[in-house]
Structure formats: C-alpha cells, structure tokens
Homo-oligomer: A and B are copies of this chain.
Amino acid sequence: MTTRWAYLGPAGTFTEEALDALLAGERDGGGRDGSQPDRLSQTSVDAALGAVRRGDADVAVVPIENSVEGGVSATLDALATGDRLVITAEVLVPVRFVLASRPGTTLADVAVVGSHPHAIAQCRGWLAQHLPAVTTVVTLSTAAAATALASSGANHDPAHDAALCSRGAAEAAGLVVLGDDVADRAGAVTRFVAVRRPGDLPPPSGADRTTVVAYQREDVAGSLLALLEQFAARGVNLSRIDSRPLGTALGQYCFSIDCDGHVADPRVGEALTGLRRVTADLRFVGSYPRADGLAPTTPPGTSDGDFVAASDWLADQRRGSTG
C-alpha cells in the first residue's frame, strides 16, 4: 500500500529535500508494487502533523532543529501536546540560500526582499552589505517567496521583488539567481524528522537518539536540576534541550529534550523511568537512528554492559546468593 507523506510545501522547500532524503533511506519509500509514495504538501507544521493524527497521512516530515535558529518552536509545541506522535527517523539538510528574482531584474533593482523569517535572519549580514537600503517582508515559507514572484500579475501582486530561497525553489519558479550562498554562516544545517502515529519502534541501531517532553512538577530551577541529574546519574548525554511555555503563565515551562541512545538501552530506560518519577508528566516522542551515525560515549560505569552486570548482581543478591 502506498505510504502517504505529509510535508511543509510547496515543492522546492528544504522540507521537500528532507522528504527526498528520507524516501531514499526508507525501505517503504516506494511500495512493494513499485508504486510511488504520495507526497502531500501542507501549509504549516501543524497541518502536517494534523494530517498524521487524523489518519490522512502516514508520515509527516517537519523541521525540529536548526544550527542557527535553534529548536523549531512550532514543531516542538505540536509534538508536546495533542495526540501523541513519535519520531521514527531523522535527516540533516544543509541550508543554502540564494537571492532570486524575475528574469530582467538586477541586484540594483531590488528594494524589497521576501522570505520566511528564519531565512531573513540567516542572511541579514549579506543583505546589509549588498543591499543596505533594502526592506524585508515575511512569507509563509522560503519557497512561497519564490512562487509568489512566479505567479505575480495574478491574484495579488507580491509585496517583494526578490526572494531568499533554495536554488531548487528558484529554478522551479523560473527565477534567476542574483546572489548565491548568501547565508551569513556557511555550513548551516537543519535537522528534519519523520513523525508517525505510535506503533512499532525502529530497532536500536547502536547510534540512536531519543526525544521526550518533560513537564515540570515545581519551579524551573529545581525541576530542571532534578531532571538533568536523572540523565547524569546514568551517564546519558543530552544533545538538545528547549524550554517551552505551558501557556498558562510566565515562568511555567515544559522541556523538550533529545538524548543519546535508544529507549531499549538499559541506561536510557533507567534514565527515563527516573525522569518519569520526578516529573509531573513525561511524554515519549520516539527513539530513532541518528543521521550522523555517532555512537554515544559513556562515562565509566554507565555502559549498557555495566547496567546488565549490575542488574544481574542485584538479582543474585535478592535470591540470597552465597557468593
């Protein structure tokens, strides 16, 4: 049966690049009958995850973390609330921007640049240097900034005359590139995840990541310290932690966390049970292979072998071992 993939469209976004990369790596990327997966373009992260929750899609591809902008709030919040979903895969997409416009436009002609706010933020220095008098307008996605230029003359004339977008989006919209690789920091990368309804977990690969959302029981400092100590006591490293407001009052937060390892690993399992005990609530959002294939390094006494040995020792003592 054909797998239906929801993603933040339109065609040409970085999310679609992530979708392509995930399809290339997934066994179910193409159906066994050779059928192509369905690609369902969505207008927002909420819409993509909502499609999976309602059963209109099997998988959603959404950005979760960017090396320049940090955790993607819309994704973190949508995963932290509503029906539980789980991450089953991740992929890293290099983020390179071009400045593109309609054929015939030159750099000197550009008075207004449109793009997604994250893109504008990442190219701020380049714009200040090459277009000091430019103003910017925000669009729903980087690709939308490009397609608005392509379709101009139609419904609404866009407020901008050049777009910050991917090269693919520029080409798809028939635009010309006025500036290549215009992001202020080279090497920016966004991590995208594939999200499904709960079910079978990907098996441990030896280099996994686990995502959870921890709801604090009391104040920020004490709660966060107790939470981190649960990881530290088992030698489990964190690769990302984002505080997200509960929406009830200033200072009320939950924590979205990525840690190294798989929920099936003894060390991760014990850390999560500890976390479960000291938090008001804990939501498991999946264990999945890391895109970079980095296996966790463990401090002395916290390897999975150490956990198994300690567990065996305890069973012996409880049985009244005479050794």
Q: CB-CB contacts of A190-205 with B at 8 A, as 1s and 0s?
A: 0100000111110000
Q: A250–B67 contact, CB under 8 A?
A: yes
Q: Please measure, in the bound complex, the distance between the C-alpha atom of A247 and the C-alpha atom of B46, giving whole angstroms.
A: 26
Q: B284–A317 contact, CB under 8 A?
A: yes
Known contacts A233-B229, A243-B240, A250-B189: does B66 contact A314 (CB below 8 Å)?
no
Measured between beta carbons, the chain B residues less than 8 angstroms from A309 are 276
Q: A39 within 8 Å of B by Cβ?
A: no
Q: B138–A247 contact, CB under 8 A?
A: no
Q: B243–A199 contact, CB under 8 A?
A: no
Stretch from A10-18, A30-38, A171-179, A300-308 that touches the partner: A300-308
Best-surrounded residue of A92, A219, A220, A236 (most CB of chain B within 10 A): A220
Q: Please measure, in the bound complex, the distance between the C-alpha atom of A264 and the C-alpha atom of B318, giving whole angstroms.
A: 6
Known contacts A247-B68, A313-B276: does B238 contact A224 (CB below 8 Å)?
yes
The residues in A between 142 and 194 inclusive whose CB is less than 8 angstroms from any CB of B are 156-157, 159, 185, 187-189, 191
Q: B318–A263 contact, CB under 8 A?
A: yes
Measured between beta carbons, the chain B residues less than 8 angstroms from A231 are 221
Question: Which 4 A/B pairs are nearest by Cβ-Cβ distance?
Answer: A273-B310, A277-B301, A221-B238, A276-B310
Q: A241–B243 contact, CB under 8 A?
A: yes
Q: A25 within 8 Å of B by Cβ?
A: no
Measured between beta carbons, the chain B residues less than 8 angstroms from A137 are 140
Measured between beta carbons, the chain B residues less than 8 angstroms from A156 are 156-157, 159
Q: Please measure, in the bound complex, the distance between the C-alpha atom of A138 and the C-alpha atom of B121, giving whole angstroms.
A: 16
Stretch from A1-9, A51-59, A70-78, A96-104 that touches the partner: A70-78
Of B121, B222, B239, B320, the contact of A200 (CB 8 Å cutoff): B320
Q: A249 within 8 Å of B by Cβ?
A: yes
Measured between beta carbons, the chain B residues less than 8 angstroms from A67 are 245, 247-250, 252
Nearest B residue to A225, CB-CB: B228
Q: A251–B245 contact, CB under 8 A?
A: no
Measured between beta carbons, the chain B residues less than 8 angstroms from A73 are 69-70
Q: B274–A197 contact, CB under 8 A?
A: no
Q: A241–B224 contact, CB under 8 A?
A: yes
Q: CB-CB contacts of A261-285 with B at 8 A, as 1s and 0s?
A: 0011000011011101110001010
